[in-house]
Structure 1
Amino acid sequence: MILVTGGAGFIGGHLAEKFVRDGHAVVVLDNLDPFYDLDIKRHNIECAREAAQNGPGSYEFIEGDIRDDDLVTELVDDATFVFHQAAQAGVRTSVKNPRTVTDINVEGTLNVLDAARNSTVERVVFASSSSVYGKPSYLPYDEDHPTTPVSPYGVSKLAAENYVRVYGDLYDIPTVALRYFTVYGPRMRPNMAISNFVSRCMNTESPVIYGDGTQTRDFTYIDDIVRTNSKLLDTDAADGEVLNIGSTDNVSIATLAEVIRDTIAPELAIEHDERRTGDAEHTHADVTKASNILCYEPTENIRSGVQRFIAWYRENREWYEPLVQSS
């Protein structure tokens, strides 16, 4: 059995659906926190259930919290693999509530690791983040770059990642930590820049950039994340490792807005507003290590990935757009 914590969220939902389609028995644990729009979570659950109905895999959804150590222990005891995606997401949310993000992201991860320590689980895959790097000493970030996060979210991910490493070393638990770089694609969180830019342009409203737009991101398409996680079902080559999973396609927020604007409504001007607290200035992934160990190669650059997302957005606009506009 594969356990996916946070499996009703964006990345976890895609992972669960993929594993089910590939014929695995999947159990999802998610607390349905309304921070992440519940309509999207329910949609993710239904996609995985539909996959189970139409294929050889099975799917079970359990509403619960990773801070519930008894529940986590019970589920991990039955698992062969654990994909630990559950977390309190959101840099700005962490700035407002640093203790909450620590409680969920660090204490929750310890519950998973304690359960794995006393089980026969074959591998724990931890969803880390490029937020652990913070201010760049150089770019692109390789895995040896200093970790100086600039938000409580980044601190919590780094602390959890270190616990994953230590538990792996001390208690002989096969663990892998994947540092994701700004993941996007169908069913993404509606409050992300890409979905917001697309929504505004489709409604002939100027996209709004927070700050001057010179900040850069390494946007990673969801399919590349799913494919990498799936490989970890069949190889131990990455056990004990921390790996960057990005696109290598570093673009400015201004360029992102322009690409989306030019595709949908080129007549619109681009507007600016005050920059938000806690956002990193730049992110850019060096994926050499993941390439060497897992033959990782990103398949989408920002232009092709955005085109795919816009096509999906048009097809799902009726239910998805109201979520974007209310976020």
Structure 2
Amino acid sequence: MGQARVLVTGADGFIGSHLTEALVRAGHKVRAFTLYNSFGTRGHLDALPKEILAEIEVHAGDIRDPGSARAAVKGSDRIFHLAALIAIPYSYVAPDSYVDTNITGTLNLLMAARDEGVSTFVHTSTSEVYGTAQYVPIDEAHPLNAQSPYAATKVGADQLALSFQRSFDMPVSVIRPFNTFGPRQSTRAVLPTIITQIAAGQNSIRLGNLTATRDFCYVRDTVAGFIAVADSKATIGEVTNIGSGFEISVGDAANLIAKLMGREITINVDDDRLRPVNSEVERLWAATDKAQRITAWRPAYAGLEGFGRGMEETITWFTNPKNLERYDPTRYQL
């Protein structure tokens, strides 16, 4: 895309911060919508190089507030909407807050974007909306089967976004990333949990379900997918999967990470890290044919080899003492 005035909601999050950085490096004028807090922190944006952060207009607010959302959208050409509550375990505890943020917050942004006449609105979905795979690889025609309150609110938000495209001819595209990983990720996600426990010197690590498989997509590929979806008119009104096209079990991923880190480990299943039985998504594996057909995107970190390369880059970042000290590997992070 040519130089644009771009709004990234959820810019303070893991994927959002990487996307924001990539857009700045590409020469765009970026406004980063972050969740207001009284500490003055800007989430993962605070980890960006100072020269990149200096180029970003930070807008602290809350997508649940219509006025805050409207102020953030004003003057934007393109919107990448990533802001959401995403922790599945916490959605069992506080489902109301997921409705407020993921559905009402999305509605606030869609209303503001419609009135502003933006040229592109990329809405972020999640592979969790598919539930346990009924067939693999999972394409965009796979039935939706929300198995957690989080997933249910994302189904609702996705359909709301698509309805605005159909009802108001808005340029809305839905991107559906599978399990993204990489530097700066929270230990709420399983791969950083594994890395930080090993890096802290633990030979016996605690995890949840070891047999569930995931399509782990390196963050560089996910970010490239966002930009490719925004650049393709063929994605408007469509859902587009972004993944590595490869599945691996959590247990096998843990053993691969240990091998890359030169360690031998034993794995203990921690009951506190298990989802309720009917809520566990047992298998996710992305079909990416559609993305490769209608956009210029191709996964650069595909398959087992790509997963290993992405994991080596991720391990290098996490094992830097300055980065590792941000994490507490002894604590289970919801």
Q: TM-score, normalised by structure 1?
A: 0.91
CA contact (8 A) 1:207 1:261 kept: no
How far off is 1:22 after superposition?
Answer: 1.1
Match of 1:143 in 2: 140
Distance 1:75 1:38, change over 3 A: closer
Counterpart of 1:15 in structure 2 is: 19
Separation (CA, whole Å) in 1 of partners of 2:281 and 2:217: 16
Aligned to 1:220: 217
Shift of 1:193: 1.1
Alpha-carbon contact 1:216-1:253 (below 8 Å) kept: yes
1:285 aligns with 2:286: yes
Measure the CA separation in 2 of the matches of 1:188 and 1:46. 11
Task: Spell out, residue by residue over 1:13-69, the C-alpha distance to the aligned partner (whole angstroms, 9 max, x if none).
Answer: 1111111111111111111579xx997x4442451652154xxxx311111000111
Q: Determine which of 183, 186, 189 is the counterpart of 1:189.
A: 186
Q: Distance in 2 between matches of 1:239 and 1:324?
A: 42
Aligned to 1:209: 207
* Offset of residue 72 of structure 1: 1.3
Q: 2:232 aligns with which of 232, 235, 243?
A: 235
Q: Which amino acid aligns with 2:239?
A: V
Q: CA deviation at 1:292?
A: 0.5
AA aligned opposite 1:174: P
Tell me the amino acid that sits aligned with residue 22 of structure 2: K
Percent identical among aligned pairs is 32
Structure 1 segments unaligned to the other structure (5+ residues): none
Q: Quick one: distance in 1 between partners of 2:107 and 2:88? A: 21
Counterpart in the other structure of 1:314:
319
Q: Provide the residue aligned with 1:44 in structure 2.
A: 45
Per the alignment, residue 297 of structure 2 pairs with 296
Q: C-alpha displacement at 1:314, in angstroms?
A: 2.1
Alpha-carbon distance in structure 1 between the residues aligned to 2:244 and 2:94 = 30
1:270 Cα offset (Å): 2.2
* Distance in 2 separating the partners of 1:276 and 1:32: 30
Residue 255 of structure 2 is matched in structure 1 by: 258
Structure 1 residues 324 and 250, CA, compared in 2 at 3 Å: closer, same or farther? Answer: farther
8 Å contact from structure 1 (residues 204, 265) kept in 2:
no
Deviations 1:133-188 (A, max 9, x none): 01322121110111011001101111000011110111011011111111110111
- Assess, with a 3 A threshold, how the Cα gap between structure 1 residues 42 and 215 changes in structure 2: closer, same or farther: closer
Question: How much does 1:320 deviate?
Answer: 3.4
Maintained 8 Å contact 2:10/2:32: yes
Q: Measure the CA separation in 1 of the matches of 2:94 and 2:79.
A: 27
- Answer yes or no: is the 8 Å Cα contact 2:69–2:108 preserved in 1: yes
CA distance in 2, matches of 1:172, 1:296: 25
Q: How far apart, in 1, do the equivalents of 2:315 and 2:100 lie?
A: 36
CA shift in 2, pair 1:124/1:45, >3 Å:
farther
Contact 2:178 2:286 in 1 (8 A): yes
> What amino acid maps onto 2:70 in structure 1?
T
SS of 1:61's partner is strand
User: 3-state SS of the aligned residue for 2:170?
Assistant: coil
Alignment pair present for 1:248 and 2:210: no
Q: Per the alignment, do residues 272 and 265 of structure 1 end up closer, same or farther by CA in structure 2, a change over 3 Å counting?
A: farther
Calculate the aligned-residue CA RMSD, in Å: 2.0
Q: Structure 1 residues 165-174 or 276-285, which shifts more?
A: 276-285
What is the Cα deviation at residue 310 of structure 1?
A: 0.6
